[in-house]
Amino acid sequence: MTFNLATHFVDRLPGERTALLCGDEEVTYAELAALVNRAGNVLRDLGVRSGQRVLLALNDSVEFVAVWYAAQKIGAVTAEVYSFLQPKDYAYYLNYTEAVVVIADASTLPALREAGARNLLVIGDVALAPGEHSFDSLVASAPAELEAAPTTLDDVAIWKFTTGSTGSPKACVHPARSAVESFERYALGVLDLREDDRVLAVPKLFFGYARDLTALFPFGVGASGVVFPQRSTASLLFSLIERYRPTILVNVPTMMSAMIADPAAAGVDMSSLRLATSAGEALPSELHRKWDNVFGVPVIDGIGSSEAYHIYLSNTPGAQRVGSLGREVPGYTARILGETGEALPDGEIGTLEVTGPTIAREYHGDPEKTARTFHGDTLRTGDLFSRDADGYFHHHGRADDLLKVSGVFVAPSEIEDCLIGHPAVVDCAVLGVTVDGLVVPRACVVLAEGASVTADELKDHARTQLAKHKYPREVVFVTELPRTANGKLDRRALRRVEAQ
Ligand code: 3SK
């Protein structure tokens, strides 16, 4: 049976409903469908064929969403990358994806040109070089009708990039089925997404967590997404929330912390929000509590990955447990394994394995990493977890971040959670450093504005809360921690800085 993501998520919906809000524009499903068709015709004319890759290097816009669906509609495979990369990074992605067409805008065009991109389709009013194509003018003269390619649920449709802790970024290769199953199991099964929902995401659309929750899952029920080109800041988000009155805020812990710390926080009207999701990295319990106190918007904390397509463990509205990433999303089973692969009883910490309907087929071009990570529909996550007696999962960091201190394993995340619980601390990361040949935990701490505390006071705080061997032997104060554009702590960058 044929199945096409664009037909399913755009064409099928009542045309008069609002699909996207962007600036002063309200784009209906009918308008989006017409733009998708025009853009699909343009991509076909530029030579894109079924199964070939289209690379999106764009800031968020209605056109971003339209070209994504346009590529889907003609049976191509979409791959999105960050919109602020250096030419050498784009050169890597161009070579790796072998994209037939690269879609750029004014902000990404110079670096893509320098990276040697060919067949550039450029959105916006930009002076073009020979061989580059103007999206706006080609779309204006393209037909608004387009027959969908006869793809199926099992055809590869989506590449989601993962950075991982080592090596170059790799694409997790997904069939269309991953998107549909995630929509049904997480968006419907957990978030209970409804027609009258309006979703606003903190991360940008190049992060699958945000793209799916803004411009895929809402479309499955005729709901709307809000898109905006700027990078998120607390004050911008406050104004967008008051302007668009979203019902769901798609958030990451770093931004939750920034929103709480913002002097305007107390006066913001967040009453439109029925829930906020948190993912991307673990949400420290203390941060969750602070959010509850300041905003009172229920936080649905969960964990997902590009490898699993989307979120596979999550809290559910009305049954949230602070400090836990919740339970299995319906349709997924999770096991915690010991060092020899044996299933561990509740309460013990081991590595998490997840089986479900959305696990990627492979890392493109990396059979060894594929073999280490994927086993049919099972994913070895490399994350450390324990499960409590009620079936809630608790995260203890990445297995490869574990430190062995005085012969005993220590999870940096445990020390980080404890220090973030101190009122003077807004952000913290712990890594292992070698002192006199021995590994000791060093905490890099960001203090709240105007707060003052000494390193010894923070060590004492940790000593009173944690097992004796776990306190950070060193505390250094930093103004900020390196984070990826997806809001995740960039431990590799931190290690580089700390090593200097
Ligand atoms: O955290 C992630 O990496 C992620 C990736 C894809 C979809 C959802 C999430 C949370």
Interface ipTM: 0.97
pLDDT digits (tens, 9 = 90+) for 290-301: 999 999 999 999
At 281 the pLDDT is: 84
Asked whether the beta carbons of 334 and 66 are under 8 A apart, the reply is no
At 486 the pLDDT is: 83
Q: If you average pLDDT over residues 451-467, what whole number do you get?
A: 92
Pocket perturbation via mutation, ligand 1, pick of 163, 181, 185, 207 by most ligand atoms within 8 A of CB: 207
Position 184 pLDDT exceeds 80: yes
**Cα of 304 from ligand 1 centre, angstroms:** 4
Q: If you average pLDDT over residues 466-491, what whole number do you get?
A: 88
Is the beta carbon of 350 within 6 A of some atom in ligand 1?
no
**Residue limits of CATH 3.40.50.12780 in the chain:** 179-398
Specify the DSSP element, H or E, that contains 470. Answer: none
Q: If you average pLDDT over residues 209-231, what whole number do you get?
A: 98
Asked whether the beta carbons of 430 and 416 are under 8 A apart, the reply is yes
Is the beta carbon of 489 within 6 A of some atom in ligand 1?
no
Three-state DSSP at 268 gives coil
Pick the atom of ligand 1 nearest to 488's CA. 1
At 164 the pLDDT is: 62
Q: If you average pLDDT over residues 259-263, what whole number do you get?
A: 94
Is the beta carbon of 280 within 6 A of some atom in ligand 1?
yes
**Least confident interval from 74-83, 160-169, 483-492:** 160-169
**Least confident interval from 162-171, 221-230, 434-443, 446-455:** 162-171
For atom 5 of ligand 1, the residue with the nearest CA is 305
Is the beta carbon of 251 within 6 A of some atom in ligand 1?
no
Structure tokens at 463: 């000593």
At 135 the pLDDT is: 98
Q: If you average pLDDT over residues 202-228, what whole number do you get?
A: 97
Please, where are the H alpha helices in 325-479?
367-373, 412-420, 455-465
DSSP single-letter state for residue 7: I
Q: If you average pLDDT over residues 295-320, what whole number do you get?
A: 98
pLDDT digits (tens, 9 = 90+) for 359-413: 999 999 999 999 999 999 999 999 999 999 999 999 998 888 888 887 777 889 8
Asked whether the beta carbons of 358 and 310 are under 8 A apart, the reply is yes
CATH number, span 179-398: 3.40.50.12780
Is the beta carbon of 218 within 6 A of some atom in ligand 1?
no
At 499 the pLDDT is: 66
At 358 the pLDDT is: 98
Pick the atom of ligand 1 nearest to 160's CA. 6
**Cα of 450 from ligand 1 centre, angstroms:** 34
CATH number, span 403-495: 3.30.300.30
At 467 the pLDDT is: 78
Is the beta carbon of 302 within 6 A of some atom in ligand 1?
no
Specify the DSSP element, H or E, that contains 291. Answer: helix 285-294
- State the pLDDT confidence band at 166, using cuts at 50, 70 and 90: low
pLDDT digits (tens, 9 = 90+) for 74-106: 999 999 999 989 999 999 999 999 999 999 999
- pLDDT higher at 10 or 432: 10
Is the beta carbon of 278 within 6 A of some atom in ligand 1?
no
Is the beta carbon of 311 within 6 A of some atom in ligand 1?
yes
Position 182 pLDDT exceeds 70: yes
Strand order in the sheet with 101-105: 133-134, 120-123, 101-105, 53-56, 77-80, 156-162, 170-175
Asked whether the beta carbons of 11 and 222 are under 8 A apart, the reply is no
Position 165 pLDDT exceeds 60: no
Domain 5-174 has CATH 3.40.190.150: no
At 408 the pLDDT is: 75
Is the beta carbon of 364 within 6 A of some atom in ligand 1?
no
Is the beta carbon of 209 within 6 A of some atom in ligand 1?
yes
C-alpha triplet 241, 246, 249: angle, nearest 5°: 80
**Cα of 25 from ligand 1 centre, angstroms:** 28
pLDDT digits (tens, 9 = 90+) for 1-22: 999 999 999 999 899 999 999 9
Measuring CA to CA, which residue among 265, 229, 266, 272 is closest to residue 249?
A: 272
**Residue limits of CATH 3.40.50.980 in the chain:** 5-174
- State the pLDDT confidence band at 496, using cuts at 50, 70 and 90: confident
**Least confident interval from 117-121, 302-306, 395-399:** 395-399
The mean pLDDT value of the chain amounts to 94
Position 208 pLDDT exceeds 70: yes
Q: How many CA atoms within 13 Å lie on the side-chain side of 493? A: 10
Pocket perturbation via mutation, ligand 1, pick of 162, 311, 325 by most ligand atoms within 8 A of CB: 311
**Cα of 123 from ligand 1 centre, angstroms:** 27
Position 485 pLDDT exceeds 90: no
